Amino acid sequence: MGASQTALITGVSGQDGSYLAELLLANDYRVVGIVRGPLSAPYPRIEHLRGSIELDTCDLLDQTSLETLLRHYRPREIYNFCSMTNSAQSFSEQVRAGQFDALAVLRLLEAIRLVNPEIRFCQASTSELFGKARQSPQNETTAFYPRNPYGVAKLYGHWITVNYRETQRMFACSSILFNHESPRRGEQFVTRKISRAVARIKAGLQHTLQLGDLDAQRDWGYAPDYTRAMWLMLQAPVADDYVLGTGEAHSVREFCRLAFGHVGLCYENHVVQEIQQERPTDTVQLVGDSQKARQALKWRPTMSFEELVCAMVDSDVGDLFGQEHAK
C-alpha cells in the first residue's frame, strides 16, 4: 500500500478521528482531516500529528463545498465522524442534531455519488439506534427504537447509508458503535467525568463527584479497537454494516469502584448521586453482539473493562501529577 492512498476523515480532531488518523498513517495512508474551526486553532488530540496529516475545513451541509473537497483530494476512503451533539445534549439541540447527524450524511453520500462513486465510505453510527431495545444483546437484526433526538438523527444517517449502498451500488458501510472510551474521551461523557474527578480528588482539588444513575449499565470498549474495526470494514471485499461492542455490560457504579480504587480511594466517600441528572428517556441495557464482525472481519477487542478504566485514570492522574506518579 503506497502513500498515494488517500483517506479523508471528518471530525478528525475528536477521539475517534485522532485514533483512526494514527492507524491510517501507520498503514502508509495520506490522511486528510476535516475540522470545524480555523486551521490555526489548537486541536489537542491531533497536535502530535500536525506534520503528518493535512487539515482542511468544509461546510458539510453545503453540497458544492463537499464536491469541491472530494475533487481536490480524490480520497479512496472516507470516514464520517461528524456529529454535532451527543444523546444528552440533543434534547436541547434537536435541530442541530438533525442537520449534522442526519442531513450531513446525505450530503456527503451524494457528493461521493456525483464525484466518484468508487470511493469507500464508512458512517460512524451508534448503539443509541437501539434505544428501547426489545432484546439484549443487540446485533445487526435487532429492531431500532431510538429514544432521543441524537439517536433519531443517527438512524437517518444509518438508513441513508444503507440506501445508497443498495440503490447506487456504492461501497457504503455503517458501524454501529457501542460506547467506546479512552483517555481522549470528551469531558462531557460520564467515563471521563469520573476519571478526571478521581485525579482531582486525589490531588485535593475537589472532594465530591455528582453523578446520575449509578446502576445504569453500558457496554464500554476501547476506542482504538473500534476505529480499527472501521478500517477493516473498508478493506473487506463487500460493504456491510456491523455492530461493534464487547458483549459485556458494566454499571457506572462498577466504573466508579474501579476508578477510585485504582488510586486507593473509596468511591462511596466521594460520589453523590443526583437523580435529576438522569435522562428523561433513558435506554434499557445496551450490549453489543459483535459476532458478525468477529467472524467476517476477524476483529477482537484488545482491552478489558478494568484495563480501560485504569488507563483513563492513569492518564488524568498523570496530567495533574506528572506521568511518573501515575500507576
Query: Is 133 within 8 Å of 144 (Cβ atoms)?
Result: no
Contact between 174 and 158 under an 8 Å Cβ cutoff? The reply is: yes
Burial 29-59 (b: 16+ CB within 10 A, else e): bbbbbbbbeeeeeebebbeebeeebebeebe
Query: Would residue 242 show up in a list of annotated catalytic residues for this protein?
Result: no
Catalytic pick among 10, 19, 43, 128: 128
**Active-site option among 43, 79, 150, 222:** 150
Q: Which three cell numbers stand for residue 288?
A: 453489543
- Catalytic status, residue 128: yes
246 is catalytic: no
Q: Which of 85, 126, 142, 283 is catalytic?
A: 126
Distance in angstroms (rounded) separating the CA atoms of residues 78 and 312:
29
195 Cβ neighbours under 8 A, 6+ residues apart: 183, 259, 309, 312, 313, 315, 316
SS3 of residue 307 by DSSP: helix
Q: Does residue 30 contact residue 3 with C-beta atoms inside 8 Å?
A: yes
Q: Which residue has the cell 457496554?
A: 219
From CA 229, how far away is CA 28, in angstroms rounded? 17
Which residues form the catalytic set?
A: 126, 128, 150
